[in-house]
């Protein structure tokens, strides 16, 4: 996994859901 999503407090606030994590990762890492 990515260290950013684990270190990001926002991700934890969303419950670290797979869908939310994916969306968060896309927003932070638009590859």
Domain boundaries, the chain: 1-31
Residues 6+ apart with CB under 8 A from 11: 5, 20, 21, 24
Rounded to an integer, what distance in angstroms lies between the CA atom of residue 31 and that of residue 27? 9
pLDDT in tens, 14-30: 555 566 567 666 776 66
> What's the whole-model pTM score?
0.20
Identify the band that residue 1 occupies on the pLDDT scale cut at 50, 70 and 90. Answer: low
């Amino acid at each position: 996994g990515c260290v950013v999503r684990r270190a990001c407090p926002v991700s934890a606030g969303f419950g670290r859901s797979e869908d939310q994590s994916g969306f968060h990762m896309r927003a932070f890492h638009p590859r």
